Amino acid sequence: MGLTCSHHGAVNRRGFLKLSSAAGLALCAAGPGIARAAGETKRVGVIGCGWYGKSDICRLMQVAPVEVVSLCDVDSNALSEAADLVVSRQQSRRKPRLYGDYRKMLAEKDLEVVLVGTPDHWHALNMIAAVESGADVYVQKPVSVDVVEAQAMLAAARKHQRVVQVGLERRSTPHLIEARNDIVQAGKLGTIGLVEIFCYFGGHRSNPPDTAPPANLDYEMWTGPAPMRPYNPLMHPRGWRNFMEYGNGFIGDIGVHMLDMTRWMLGLGWPNSITSSGGILVEKQGKANTSDTQTAVFDFGSTQVTWQHRSYGPPPDPQYVWGAFFYGDKGTLKAGVNGYDFIPNGNGQRIHRDVTFEYDRYPEDRTEKDLENFAASANRGNMRDFMSCVASRGRPVADIEEGYISTASCILANVSMKLGRSLRWDGQAGQVVGDAEANHLLRRPYRAPWIHPVPEAV
């Protein structure tokens, strides 16, 4: 079953979303662009060479035969650092071509795989342009800053028949795969009525004065489609997550991991409704405009999933600062990035597992700058799955459609919090039911000259 739609949008949004969700919609055997045998070296480019862009390319180089031929970043210092790192890691020791504009990099049309590690407000334009150029794409989470962007990304991936994996690597985390298979899917929890997902970190907000952008940063291009605001040292290289102009706060950045993990473990699709409240209730002195406190309820019908974030005070369980607690009538599963604990009701046997480190196989993990060591094996697993699907043309474990569902659900929680009311969601239509004001907020304004992508016109 194929999808035929022109650049002028022969398939409307409702029709496309119905088609893209159908189980029979398969990627073609090869699709446009360059196709090579699974064991042959793939030509790779990276858009966004900061913290996680470098981490992702290093994990890919550890598990797949690739040649990093192009790097792009609007920060010349980050670009130079990434180039040196790639030269030191890849077998050929060749230096990649360097770009300050992703459009010029993609215009070469010689990349088979593109990694997108830019701030969230750039993900949609970067990913869509990359699949249009014929590349398969690994895009970091959350997939987008608004819901319509995510719908357009899904439409583009399907139209151009590209493999798109999202950096939701909990699906590829060894101890969480074990928990899903041996605890949840094996029925050891019984009937699961409630899952609590949470994070309890991120405080100590500062308030430095605005300044001129550093000479190494093209701030106009960095801002791109987002609103232009005075430059602040908090924004770059990693503090942009403190600002709603570039992301969706803690639920969009951190909560999306645990909501996605819960959906994967339990086989859940869209929530029927989303209700959320919160705001900046305690840490009001900082420059950040993201909430320091938020509660959300995702109603999946037979299972309720709640989110709680606060960036002050200690966590209820110090072993689980960021994670998910699954409550069933036979037991409880505590699952986080550093391990899991299964606690059966009664006198059954408890099970504990720690996160998997692979220093024996990848000793460079010990010394890599800024590496999230707990996530390294998970990221490698996600990259292996991605490259396997690049070869097979199958759907990866964190396919763009899964990323769309998890990302949009978190964005809808923010919309609910902003409007102060519950939202009923129609996943087939891609719309909030009977709420024109909420539907208006599914698409953020873009700063000229950037044009917001829509699923009917990718």
Render pLDDT for 383-407 as a digit per residue (tens, 0 to 9).
999 999 999 999 999 999 999 999 9
Strand order in the sheet with 293-299: 351-354, 339-344, 331-336, 322-328, 192-199, 304-310, 293-299, 273-279, 423-426, 431-432
What's this model's pTM, rounded to 2 decimal places?
A: 0.92
Architecture per CATH, 173-207+230-370: 2-Layer Sandwich (3.30)
Q: How many helices (H) and strands (E) does the chain have?
A: 13, 16
Q: Which residues are 297's β-sheet partners?
A: 275, 306
Is residue 232 within 8 A of residue 287, CB to CB? The reply is yes
> Residue ranges of the domains in the chain?
32-171+378-400, 173-207+230-370
Is residue 372 within 8 A of residue 55, CB to CB? The reply is yes
Give the CATH H-level superfamily of domain 32-171+378-400.
Answer: NAD(P)-binding Rossmann-like Domain (3.40.50.720)
Residue 358's contacts (CB-CB under 8 Å, 6 or more residues apart) are: 365, 376, 377, 380
Helix ranges, 208-325 (H): 219-223, 249-250, 256-266
With a cut of 50, list the residues of the chain below it in pLDDT: 1-12, 16, 18-37
- For 397, other C-beta atoms within 10 Å of its C-beta total 19
Place of tokens 């342009």: 129
Is residue 91 within 8 A of residue 23, CB to CB? The reply is no
pLDDT at 2: 32
How confident is the model over 262-311, as pLDDT tens digits?
A: 999 999 999 999 999 999 999 999 999 999 999 999 999 999 999 999 99
| Residue 367 main-chain phi, psi, to 5 deg | -120, -5
| Residue 45: DSSP 8-state | E
Is residue 309 within 8 A of residue 255, CB to CB? The reply is yes
